Chain A
Amino acid sequence: MGQSQSKMEGESSEVHEFPEEIIEEILKRLPVKPLVRFRCVSKSWLSIISSPVFIKLHLDTSLKNNTTHSHTRLICVSADPQNHFRIFPLRHLMDEEETETETEPITSVSYNAGYPDVPMRIVGSCRGMVCVALNEEKFYLWNPSIRRQILLPPLNICPEFDFYMKDGFGYEEFTDDYKVVAILFCNSRAGPFKVKIFSLRANAWKRIEDFKYGNPLDNSGVCLNGKLHWLVDEDSYPGIVSLDLLTEEYARVGPPYNASDNSCAIVEYDEPCLTLGLFNGSLCMLSDDHRTNMDLWVMKDYGVVDSWDRVVRVSHLGNPGFYPHVLRVIALDEDRILFLYGCVVVVYSLKNCSYWYPPTDSVAAVQHADVFVESLISPCDYEANRM
Chain B
Amino acid sequence: MAAETGTPTTLTLKSNDDELFSVAESAAILSVTIRNMVEDGCAGGVIPLDNVDGKTLASVITYMNGISAIPADEEKKKSYRDKFLSDKDFETLADMVLAANYLNMSCLMDAVSAKIAQVMEKKSVGWVRRKFGIENDYTPEEEAAVKEEHKWTFEGVETDDDN
Contact = CB atoms under 8 A, between A and B. Distances in A.
Interface in B60-75: none
Contacts of B94: 16, 18
B128 interface: yes
A165 B153 CA distance: 37
A2 interface: yes
Contact of A2 (B91, B101, B114, B154): B91
Contact of B95 (A16, A19, A31, A45): A16
Contact of B97 (A1, A22, A33, A41): A22
Contacts of A40: 125, 138, 143, 146-147
A42 B138 CA distance: 6
Contacts of B83: none
A247 interface: no
Contact of A39 (B16, B90, B146, B163): B146
B150 A39 contact: yes
A19 B98 CA distance: 9
B150 A16 contact: no
Contacts of B16: 7
B125 A16 contact: no
Q: Is the interface of B mostly helix, strand, loop or mixed?
A: helix
A39 B136 CA distance: 11
Contacts, number: 104
Contact of B137 (A21, A31, A42, A147): A42
In this complex, the interface size class of chain B, counting residues with CB under 8 Å from chain A, is 35 or more
A146 B122 CA distance: 17
B113 A43 contact: no
Q: Which one of A25, A37, A45, A147 has the highest number of Cβ atoms from chain B below 10 Å of its Cβ? A: A37
B153 A33 contact: yes
A254 to B, nearest CB: 36
B87 to A, nearest CB: 12
Given A25-B109, A41-B129, A42-B136, A7 B53 contact: yes
A78 to B, nearest CB: 20
A271 B136 CA distance: 66
A16 B132 contact: yes
Interface string B120-160: 11110100110111111110000100110010111001000
Contacts of B117: 26-27, 29-30
Interface string B75-101: 000000000000001111011011001
B133 A16 contact: yes
B150 A22 contact: no
B146 A26 contact: no
B89 A45 contact: no
A4 B146 CA distance: 34
Contacts of A323: none
A148 B152 CA distance: 13
Interface string A21-58: 11101110111011011111111111000000000000
B116 interface: yes
Closest 5 CB pairs of A and B: A15-B133, A29-B117, A37-B153, A25-B113, A36-B153
Interface of A: 1-2, 4-5, 7, 12, 14-19, 21-23, 25-27, 29-31, 33-34, 36-46, 146-147
Given A23-B132, A25-B101, A37-B125, 14 more contacts: A4-B92, A5-B54, A15-B133, A16-B98, A18-B97, A25-B109, A30-B121, A36-B150, A36-B153, A37-B154, A40-B143, A41-B136, A45-B134, A147-B150
27 contacts: A1-B91, A2-B90, A4-B95, A5-B55, A7-B53, A14-B91, A15-B133, A16-B95, A16-B98, A18-B94, A18-B98, A22-B98, A22-B101, A25-B97, A33-B153, A34-B153, A36-B150, A36-B153, A37-B154, A40-B147, A41-B128, A41-B132, A41-B134, A41-B136, A42-B135, A42-B138, A44-B134
